[in-house]
Amino acid sequence: MTRRVLVAGGAGFIGSHIAEAYLADGWEVEIIDDLSRGKEHNVPSGACFTRLDVRSPEARERVARGRFDVVNVQAAQIDVRHSVEQPAYDADINLLGLINLLEGAGSGGVGRVVFASSGGVLYGEAATVPTPETAPKMPVSPYGVSKLAGEHYLRALAALRGFEGVAMRYANVFGPRQDPKSEAGVVSIFVSRLRAGQALTIYGNGRQTRDYVFVRDVARANVLASTARLPVPDEHDAIGFNVATSTELSVVELAETVGRVLGRTPDIRFEDARAGELQRSSLDTSKARQVLGWKPEFSFESGLAELISWFEREERNG
Ligand SMILES: NC(=O)c1ccc[n+]([C@@H]2O[C@H](COP(=O)([O-])OP(=O)(O)OC[C@H]3O[C@@H](n4cnc5c(N)ncnc54)[C@H](O)[C@@H]3O)[C@@H](O)[C@H]2O)c1
């Protein structure tokens, strides 16, 4: 029997790649998205799309009545600064929206829920880098708190309602379709600005590091996590999987690498460090390797080359 998955947020950056990866693996794919940030043209052909808000009764019904094997929740309010300004709005989408879908999954006999969490914000300034799943959690923003709380709702409601839950703790995801205007997309921002001959702005001294994982690797991890045999959820971190490269790249190194690959020397402007910004962030992926049989296949440079080709295609197509 063909397996069925609903991808919430599947018109967005990561969700659309995940939908493609399920389709390539032979799944039937339904997508719901309110298009607040996603775009209908991101929906892959072969997937069925309905415009729905994850907080709506219609979305819960869709999950409950769709005979889905897996529900994959990518839909979220993703802007950290917005969550600081409006924490209630963030929680409304990221927690009440998630709970709404989890309730649908419970009544619809869904086998497993895969949830997009964030390793970048869960651990805060970690003592161990690359950081394992078991590290202390200290999110500093309401967005980070909503991701951690979302994991707890997932684990608790999975046990109460009888489905499995898995939380994908992404590092900094980059690749085609990431909005160069979004604050999360520093790689897209640098590529877009350098191609336009514009200066790059770096906040602080530029030595802060991040772990950049290519979006198609992230999509493959989601598909593997949909069927892999999972550890018994006897403690919170059992449901969590870091999805990353375990490689640290500083912002200055990032700017230089993008410049080298594009054949342009970046004009870098330094501005004051942003309050609350982490100095180091990189995630240990041993668990995903062992349990999911996953490891990243794209180096930063090969992912960057894919991203640049996409920018060129988009420009040609207007
Ligand atoms: N991009 C990253 O580096 C990164 C890192 C860690 C975690 N994440 C998480 O991964 C997931 C996907 O992020 P992304 O970067 O693709 O962002 P995105 O904004 O491109 O995708 C989110 C999608 O959810 C949709 N959405 C938002 N609110 C909705 C609602 N109320 N109802 C229905 N749909 C709604 C948006 O329209 C969008 O298509 C999010 O949960 C995000 O928190 C992303």
Q: pLDDT digits over 96-114, tens only?
A: 999 999 999 999 999 999 9
121: pLDDT strictly greater than 70: yes
CA of 138 to the centre of ligand 1 (A): 21
What confidence score (pLDDT) does residue 318 get?
A: 76
What are the φ/ψ torsions at residue 94 (nearest 5 degrees)?
Answer: -75, -25
Are 53 and 16 in the same domain?
Answer: yes
CB 11 within 8 A of CB 38: yes
Tell me which DSSP letter residue 77 carries: -
Angle separating helix axes 215-227 and 300-316, nearest 10 degrees: 110
User: Is 290 inside any structural domain?
Assistant: no
Does residue 19 form part of some domain? yes
Q: Give residue-wise pLDDT tens across range 199-209.
A: 999 999 999 99
Measured CA angle at 216 (ends 252, 191), to 5 deg? 35
Q: What is the pLDDT of residue 181?
A: 76
Residues with CB under 6 A from ligand 1: 9, 11-15, 33-38, 53-55, 74-78, 93, 97, 116, 118, 120, 170, 172-173, 184
Q: Is the pLDDT of residue 297 over 90?
A: yes
> Is residue 236 pLDDT above 70, yes or no?
yes
Closest CA to 117 of 133, 105, 101: 133
**CA dist., res. 135 & res. 128, Å (int):** 8
pLDDT tens-digit series, residues 19-55 = 999 999 999 999 999 999 999 999 999 999 999 999 9
Asked whether residue 180 carries a pLDDT value surpassing 90, the answer given is: no
Say which CATH number the domain at 79 has.
3.40.50.720
Closest Cα to residue 29, out of 57, 2, 60?
2
Does 160 lie in the same domain as 148? yes
Mean pLDDT of 270-284: 92
* Residue given tokens 């659309």 in the structure block: 16
In a shared domain, residues 91 and 230: yes
| Pair (139, 71) in one structural domain | yes
Name the percent of the chain lying above pLDDT 90: 94
d(CA 151, CA 149): 5
Domain for residue 89, yes or no? yes
Residue 291 is assigned to a structural domain of this protein: no
C-beta separation of 131 from 282 below 8 A: yes
Cα 295 versus chain centre, distance: 16
In a domain, 289, yes or no: no
pLDDT-based confidence at 183, cuts 50/70/90? low
**pLDDT reported for residue 184:** 66
Distance CA 244, CA 209 (A): 13
What's the rounded mean pLDDT across residues 251-267?
Answer: 96
Whether omega before 130 lies within 30 degrees of 0, making that bond cis, reads yes
Q: What is the pLDDT of residue 267?
A: 96
The rounded Å distance from CA 200 to ligand 1 centre is 25
Mean of the pLDDT values across residues 149-177? 98
C-alpha closest to that of 94 among 66, 111, 72, 117: 117
pLDDT tens for 66-84 read 999 999 999 999 999 999 9
Q: So what's the pLDDT on residue 73?
A: 99
| pLDDT over 90 (residue 179) | no
Domain count, the chain: 2
Considering the domain architecture, whether residues 187 and 253 belong to the same structural domain is answered as yes
Kindly report whether the peptide bond that precedes residue 233 is cis, defined as omega within 30 degrees of 0. no
Q: Does 309 lie in the same domain as 197? A: yes
The domain of 44 spans 4-125+132-173+212-243
Residues 106 and 168 in one domain: yes
Answer yes or no: is 104 within a domain. Answer: yes
pLDDT of res. 135 = 98
87 lies in the same domain as 226 = yes
153 part of the active site:
no
Whether 32 and 151 share a structural domain? yes
CATH number of the domain encompassing residue 201? 3.90.25.10
Closest ligand 1 atom to 73 CA? 41
pLDDT the model gives residue 276: 79
DSSP state of 169: E
Question: To test the ligand 1 pocket, which listed residue (78, 96, 121, 242) has its Cβ within 8 A of the most ligand atoms?
Answer: 78
Q: Which token pair is 179? A: 């909005």
Is the domain of 23 the same as that of 50? Answer: yes
Q: For 288, which DSSP code? A: I
- Do 276 and 189 belong together in one domain? yes
